[in-house]
Amino acid sequence: MILTLTLNPSLDRTIEVGSLTRGAVIRAAAAHLDPGGKGVNVSRALLANQVRSCAVIPFGGDEGRQLVGLLSAEGIDMIPVSVGGATRSNVTLAEPDGTVTKLNEPGTALTPSELDTLASAVLGAAESADWVVASGSLPPGVPVDVYAGLCRRFAAAGIQTAIDTSGPALVAAVAAGPTLVKPNREELAEATGTPITRLGDVIDAAEKLRGMGARSVLTSLGADGALLMEDDRFWYGRCPVEEPRSSVGAGDAMLAGFLAAGASGEAALAEGLAWASAAVGLPGSRMPAPADIDRSAVRISTPDPAQPLMSGG
Ligand SMILES: Nc1ncnc2c1ncn2[C@@H]1O[C@H](COP(=O)(O)OP(=O)(O)O)[C@@H](O)[C@H]1O
Ligand SMILES: O=P(O)(O)OC[C@H]1O[C@](O)(COP(=O)(O)O)[C@@H](O)[C@@H]1O
């Protein structure tokens, strides 16, 4: 069983627009509402592919009740912890060429006692978990070492941990020795203080992150694919998408596919790439089901360190 913790979940509203012009009235072509937050999406993708998972989330206000309602409708196994602040809403503007502009709210603060309740819920449920995935930004006021503290406790109990966060929370968690981290290009550059413009920079920065404490590093590189580094070995892969619709949740789908396939080596990287590409081809932050996933387009190759990275970050 894969347990996920999302301290800052969201209602994700994705609005499809023809183009973006600041200051203009833009008529949307379509809109989608999905339950959101990084760990929530990992659990949704796992459920869609019949892999057992349980999501621990705080929820509050009308938005929080709506989030829990949407997750219940999807059949998610979850431990919702009621909190005083209202759950945030995140908005994505998706353009026809696949470009997305994300507006992520900070979220509302968790009190120390709410945080304790959430930590107890995770520690209790983790007894039957193979992995604990702690994902996403921290709401205001939550100590930056919260994931680090959990990593240490799980490592002592022999439970594997995957971390997908950014900034100081990522740096602190890496120092606690997680089994796996899943930064994107920007997060890897920030955590290591290294500019990343070529594939060789990704290899060097991922090695640096391993030196800082992470065991394996799965770096997602947008349209440039992903690079997995573990135990001094690395693999690079891509999976082109013919018609990108929304990359929101693609990183979460990648992490879910990677974990579902054993979380190690070329085969797990390939599965993560296939799930991520499928997510990019779906609207909003819809997670891919087996019928959406096409493994035939995945290409794993020896990385050329000089290869420039084309996608943003
Ligand atoms: N335009 C795209 N074309 C093909 N694959 C994509 C595209 N955008 C994202 N992906 C896939 O989704 C993965 C996660 O995307 P990325 O933007 O790196 O992560 P995150 O969503 O965590 O920021 C990438 O590693 C890649 O496999
Ligand atoms: O916690 P953060 O960093 O604000 O991110 C939350 C957002 O990320 C998502 O989980 C999508 O994540 P990815 O695009 O990185 O896979 C959305 O569902 C959510 O709105």
| pLDDT tens-place string over residues 171-197 | 999 999 999 999 999 999 999 999 999
Residue listed under structure tokens 């999406």? 41
Judge contact between 26 and 16, C-beta under 8 A. Answer: no
Judge contact between 304 and 267, C-beta under 8 A. Answer: no
Ligand nearest to the CA of 138: 2
Averaged confidence pLDDT in the chain:
96
| Residue 254 CB neighbours (<10 A) | 29
- Ligand 2 center from residue 180 Cα (angstroms): 18
Confidence of residue 131 (pLDDT cuts 50, 70, 90): very high
Ligand 2 atom nearest to CA at 137:
1
Long-range contacts of 25-32 (CB under 8 A, 24+ apart): 30/283, 32/283, 32/284, 32/285, 32/286
How far, in Å, CA of 69 to CA of 73, rounded?
Answer: 6
**Domain count along the chain:** 1
Domain range for residue 187?
2-20+28-301
ipTM: 0.98
Judge contact between 59 and 82, C-beta under 8 A. Answer: yes
Q: Which helix (H) or strand (E) holds 122?
A: helix 112-125
Average pLDDT of span 55-77: 98
Q: Per the domain annotation, does 278 fall within a domain?
A: yes
Nearest CA to 77 out of 95, 101, 97, 51 is that of 51
Q: Per the domain annotation, does 312 fall within a domain?
A: no
Q: Is 257 in the pocket of ligand 2 (CB under 6 A)?
A: no
Q: Per the domain annotation, does 285 fall within a domain?
A: yes
Is the per-residue pLDDT at 204 higher than 70? Answer: yes
Q: Per the domain annotation, does 202 fall within a domain?
A: yes
pLDDT of residue 110: 96
Average pLDDT of span 101-114: 95
Ligand nearest to the CA of 253: 2
Ligand 1 atom nearest to CA at 164:
22
Q: Is 6 in the pocket of ligand 2 (CB under 6 A)?
A: no
Ligand 1 atom nearest to CA at 98:
1
Q: Is 41 in the pocket of ligand 2 (CB under 6 A)?
A: yes
The residue whose C-alpha atom lies closest to atom 19 belonging to ligand 1 is: 251
Q: Residue 244 corresponds to which tokens in the numbers above?
A: 């990108």
pLDDT of residue 241: 95
pLDDT of residue 311: 76
Task: Report the percent of the chain where pLDDT is more than 70.
Answer: 99
Q: Per the domain annotation, does 267 fall within a domain?
A: yes
CATH number for the domain spanning 164: value is 3.40.1190.20
Q: Is 220 in the pocket of ligand 2 (CB under 6 A)?
A: no
Q: Is 33 in the pocket of ligand 2 (CB under 6 A)?
A: no
Average pLDDT of span 280-284: 92
User: CB within 8 A of 16, min separation 6: which ones?
Assistant: 28, 29, 30, 31, 32, 94, 95, 96, 283
The residue whose C-alpha atom lies closest to atom 14 belonging to ligand 1 is: 251
Angle among Cα 89, 90, 95 to the nearest 5 degrees reads 145
The residue whose C-alpha atom lies closest to atom 20 belonging to ligand 1 is: 251
- Ligand 1 center from residue 121 Cα (angstroms): 31
Coil, strand or helix at 276:
helix
Q: Per the domain annotation, does 306 fall within a domain?
A: no
Active-site residues, by number, are 252
Ligand 2 atom nearest to CA at 40:
10
Q: Which helix (H) or strand (E) holds 207?
A: helix 199-212
Is the per-residue pLDDT at 312 higher than 80? Answer: no
Q: Per the domain annotation, does 62 fall within a domain?
A: yes
Q: Is 285 in the pocket of ligand 2 (CB under 6 A)?
A: yes
How far, in Å, CA of 185 to CA of 258, rounded?
Answer: 18
Ligand nearest to the CA of 272: 1
How far, in Å, CA of 189 to CA of 313, rounded?
Answer: 9
Higher pLDDT, 128 or 61: 61
Is the per-residue pLDDT at 313 higher than 70? Answer: no
Q: Per the domain annotation, does 256 fall within a domain?
A: yes
Coil, strand or helix at 40:
helix
Q: Which helix (H) or strand (E) holds 199?
A: helix 199-212
Q: Which helix (H) or strand (E) holds 301?
A: strand 299-301
